[in-house]
Structures are given as structure tokens and as C-alpha cells.
Amino acid sequence: MALEQLPLNKIRAAEDQPRKTFYNESLEELAASIKERGVLEPIVVRPIKAANGDTTYEIVMGERRFRASKIAGLTHIPAIVRNYTTEEAAADALLENFQREDLNPVEKARAVQGLLKMMSMERVCKTLGVSETTVRRLMELLELPPHVQAELVTRPAGSGGQIANSDTGMFVEGHARALISVNDDPTTQMRLVAKVKAERLSVAALEQIITALQKYPTKKEVFLHVPANVSDQMIRSLSAIEDRKRPYKSQTAREHVKGIDKQSVTLTNLLDERVIEYLTAEEMNQLLASVAQATRLMEQFTAKVREALENKDFGFSETYIHCPLCGRIELVGSVRCSTCWTILRRCFDCGNYDRAGERCGKLGIQVPLADAEGPKEHSKSYKCRDYKPKFTPQTMRLKMAK
């Protein structure tokens, strides 16, 4: 091993150099630095004897410095000369570049592929200091068609040679890996690549769209055309339809009802007619269509619930009562408020109750005022079905479904 000042015209790049992509912008920056301060770190080369006895040198490490030195106008460059074998040179060249952020995944994969032709998987992993899983995941990228691989090689504008992080929405390794599952459809692959770049999709968003394309092939054109947020809404709706086709698990019913209660409160809070003043005619048409569809579904669902109550021996009466604590309106058939779990005070607000005499005029029984105001489970008014509202607002009779 020796450090020499070698003439640039005696040095050549290795054909199997891992880095295949060099960006002019970053080379110009390095050349400017070399002009000012010189080559601070020598390159590493190995001697190659020609048939005529001449010696040239093949670069093992430092091709960027070599190229930038040419741009800077140098004639010689400091170099460490080592007598590498072809296998040793390939391994060291890859090792130097393997963990660089600006060496793109495809270059890494191709370099590993070259090493695997010369040594075993176990030795490659040991040489690079990585797991077999890492190596195999890199090799998977080479299963992608060239036009998708090329997207990983292309540097995003303004990145300074750095590969973009997935958070930026640019096309990165995670996107490419997601597209492996659609290798049999290159046209769709490229449309998805364009969608990632146009909408700056995250890897997770792309994976969700690919899953939707595979699960709902008849909706392919829709998913490829609409924005990702619309795709997400469609996937939720289609999944809900699929769920309704499956056998229902009875243990989920209570959680289902809680969800309906929560969403109904959210929707009620959103129903502010002032919004109409700020909408265009087109937006109002869209709003009306959305509300009308929700109304139709709600009416159908309401009819089913009402029918179930009327067909069962529940003593059903569609009379409504206020919760004394939080003000929620419940059906009289409920025992407690579904929001705050307070026992509903039927007697106190009932038209049949004589507060002065503390007596129920309908049943002819005594009901202490304390029980009427704050009933407990042992109170006589608990679960009473004979509630008669005193005030019209407390009755919210819904339109009966036909």
C-alpha cells in the first residue's frame, strides 16, 4: 500500500462501481471545494497491468473526488494504491458506499447482486454488516420493472443529491416496495407513480390505494382518478358494506350503539344553516345530496328499530322524556339516560302525578316527592310505562314509516 500523486489520465472508473448516478450540482460544489483546498482525502485505486506492460489504475473508492478533480482542472490526485483482487475491490467499494444517504436503493441492490455472484449470502451479510433480511429486501427492488427503478434513481429537484424522506411525499423506496405487488400491471404501476408525485402521497396512503385496487377491482379507475382523501372515504364506505354482509357478532351491538350516539351528536352539532350563506349553488347541491342520502338511510334505519320495538312485547310507546341532569331526550321505554346514565324521573314530569298529594292519579298509588324527583331502582316509578308528558315539547313523535 502506498500513497502517490497519480495522473488523472492514468486512472479509470470501475465498471462495477456501485454508484452509477452522479449529479452535476453536487460535483460542481465538490470541484469548487477542491479548487480552494485541494483533495483532502485520497482516493483508493488498484493497479491494472495492460498486455503491453503499461500500468493503469482502477478506482475502488472515491470516484466522485476523481470526477470533481477533473472539473477543477487538476492533473494529478492523491491516491492510495492497493493490490486488490476483483472480489476484494468490489466488496470494499460497496462497503464504502453502502451506508451513504446519497447512494440510492437501486444502486445498493445492484451492487449487492454483483457481490452475490462472487460470494455466499452469509459472507455478503458479514462483509456489509447487515442482516439477510436487509439484503433480501434490497434484492426485491430489482424485481420492479426498469421504469419504476428509474424513479428511485432520479433525484428530486432541490434535494442536493439526497434521497427524499417519505414524509415529503416524494417517490422513495417505501413507495417502490409497495408497487412490487402490482408488478403484473406496469401501466397501473406508472399511474400510481404519477399519483404519488402529483398528490405527494405517503407510503401508507399508497399502500391503502393498492389494497383497495386489489380488493375492489371494479372501482380501479375511480381510485386512480380521485384524490387520496376521497379514496379513503370510499374505502370506508365499501368496507362498511362488506361488513354488513358478514354474520353479525352480538357482542359488538352495544359498542355499535355507542358509536351511533356519538356520531349523531357530532352530526347534530354540524347542522348549522348559516353555512348556506357562504356556499355556491354547486356546493349547496352537493350538500343537499349528501344530507338527503343520509336522511334516507336514517329513515330506513329508524323504521327498522321502530318495527322491532312494536313487534316485541316491550309495551312500546313512542313518547319522549327529558333527562333531568343533561337534558338529553330519551324514549320513555329507556330506563336511564344514555349520555349521563341518570335514572329518568318519570313521575315528576308526568301529567298523571299530583305533586301536592304525592300521588299517581293513573295508578292510584303514593309516590313520595323525593322518589319522583330522584328515582332509584327500588322506586315505584322505576320503569313505569304510563308516563304522560305535561308539556308538548317533551313529545317528539317521529313520522311513522310505512
Specify the DSSP class assigned to residue 398: P
Q: How many CA atoms lie within 13 A of 351 on its CB side?
A: 10
At 154 the pLDDT is: 67
pLDDT at 260: 86
Inter-residue contact 60 to 93 (CB < 8 Å): yes
Q: What is the domain partition of the chain in residue ranges?
A: 2-143, 146-242, 277-309, 317-402
Q: Is the dihedral of CA 345, 351, 354, 355 positive or negative?
A: positive
Q: Which residue has the cell 477533473?
A: 70
Q: Once rounded to an integer, what is the mean pLDDT over residues 191-214?
A: 91
| The pLDDT of residue 227 | 86
pLDDT over threshold 70, residue 363 = yes
Q: What angle do CA 187, 192, 195 make, to 5 degrees?
A: 130
CATH 3.40.50.300 fits 2-143, yes or no: no
Cβ–Cβ under 8 Å, residues 166 and 203: yes
Q: Once rounded to an integer, what is the mean pLDDT over residues 13-33?
A: 74
Residue 43, φ and ψ in degrees, nearest 5: -80, 165
- The pLDDT assigned to 316 comes to 67
Total residue count of the chain as it appears in this document: 402
Q: In the structure grid, which three cell numbers stand for residue 31, read together?
A: 470541484
Catalytic hit among 63, 107, 151, 173 = 63
Alpha-carbon gap, residue 367 to 381, rounded angstroms: 7
Answer for the pair 66, 11: CB distance below 8 angstroms, yes or no.
yes
- Of 92-96, 124-128, 177-181, 318-322, the range with the highest mean pLDDT is 177-181
What SS3 class is residue 393? helix
In single-letter form, the type of residue at position 115 comes to L
142-154: string of b/e by CB count within 10 Å (b at 16+)? eebeeebbebbee
The better pLDDT of the pair 92, 158 is held by: 92
283 catalytically annotated: no
The full DSSP string for 260-276 is: HHHHHHHHHHH--GGGG
The cell numbers describing 304, all together, are 327498522
What pLDDT band is residue 399 in, cutting at 50, 70 and 90? very low
Average pLDDT over every residue of 71-77: 90
Task: Give residue 168's pLDDT.
Answer: 47
What's the average model confidence in pLDDT over 246-267?
Answer: 80
pLDDT at residue 305 is higher than 60: yes
Query: Is the pLDDT reported for residue 268 higher than 80?
Result: yes
pTM over 0.75: no
What is the tens place of the pLDDT at every residue in 138-185? 899 999 998 898 888 765 444 444 444 444 457 888 999 999 999 999
C-alpha distance from residue 80 to each of 5, 273, 291 (Å): 9, 78, 75
* Local confidence band at 327 (pLDDT 50, 70, 90 cut-offs): confident
What pLDDT score was predicted for residue 16? 64
Burial class (CB in 10 A: 0-12, 13-18, 19+), 116: middle
Q: Which DSSP string corresponds to 69-86? A: HHHHT-SEEEEEE----H
* Pairing of β 76-81 and β 43-49: parallel
CB atoms within 10 A of CB 103: 19
Over pLDDT 70: what percentage of the chain? 86
Place of cell 470501475: 14
| DSSP per-residue string spanning 93-141 | HHHHHHT-TTS-HHHHHHHHHHHHTTS-HHHHHHHHT--HHHHHHHHHG
**Which CA distances in Å does 194 have to 3, 117, 202, 325?**
49, 35, 13, 56
Residue 301 to residues 163, 268, 396, Cα–Cα distance (Å) = 52, 17, 17
In a 10 Å sphere around its CB, with 0-12 CB exposed, 13-18 middle and 19+ buried, how is residue 220 labelled? middle
| pLDDT, position 178 | 93
**What local confidence, expressed as pLDDT, does residue 20 receive?**
58
143, three cell numbers? 424485481
What is the pLDDT averaged over residues 92-104? 66
Average pLDDT (121-130) is: 84
